[in-house]
Homo-oligomer: A and B are copies of this chain.
C-alpha cells in the first residue's frame, strides 16, 4: 500500500507547507493529549499571524503557550484560557484576539467542519455574550443560536497508536478533542506514541479512520501533568 503509507520521518516533513496566517486546529484538553512535537515544530518554523482553534492554549512554557511567547498567534478560538500569564498580558494589551467559544460548541464546530455541515443550531449560549451577532431561531418553542463550523489549513492531533495508513487509536482521556480535530484539517498530521503495521489494529476499535489523516510521525512525549491529585490514605 505505497499510496497509503503516511508515515513521515521528520517534523519538518510533518509540518511542511505551514505558512503565515494559516488556521490550525489542535487536539488536546489542557496539556492532556497534545501533539507536543508538532507544536514545537510550529515554533521552529516561526510562522506568524496564526489562528489557532484549540480548547486551551497550553501554559506559559509548554504546549501551545510556547507559540504565544513567540507572538506567532494572532487569534485563539478556545473555551478556557486560564493558567497562562503571557496569554493574559497579550489579551489585555490587545495584541491577541480571542474568540471565547463554549466547550461543547467548539467540539461540535470542529466535528461539523470535518463532516461537511456548515452550521448548526444550539441552545448553548442563548442570551449570553456568545449569542451576540448570531442568528436566533425557535424550534419547539425554545430559542437556539446558529453556530458555524470551523476547518483548518492544518489539523494537529496526538494519538496513542497509528497504523501506517493513518488509522488512529487514542488512550483514555487523551482522546478529548483529537478525533474531531483530525477530521477538520485540509492537512491532518498525527503525532503518535507507537506506529504499528497495517492489520494490527482491530477495525472495530479504530477511533479515527485513516481517511482523515495525511501524515503520521512517531513522537516522544513529556506528558506534563497540570494538577497531580492523589488519593488520601
> What residues make up the interface of A, taking CB atoms closer than 8 Å to B?
108, 112, 115-123, 137, 139-140, 142, 144, 148, 169-172, 175, 203-205
Contacts and interface: CB of A to CB of B under 8 A. Distances in A.
B112 A122 contact: no
A69 to B, nearest CB: 34
A139 B119 CA distance: 8
Specify the main secondary structure of chain A where it touches its partner.
mixed
Given A139-B148, A204-B171, A204-B172, A123 B112 contact: no
Contacts of A205: 204-205
Nearest to A123: B116
Which of A112, A119, A137: most chain B CB closer than 10 A?
A: A119
Contact of A118 (B121, B148, B175): B121
Nearest to A144: B118
A177 to B, nearest CB: 16
A109 to B, nearest CB: 12
Contacts of A204: 169-172, 175, 205
A120 to B, nearest CB: 4
Nearest to A142: B118
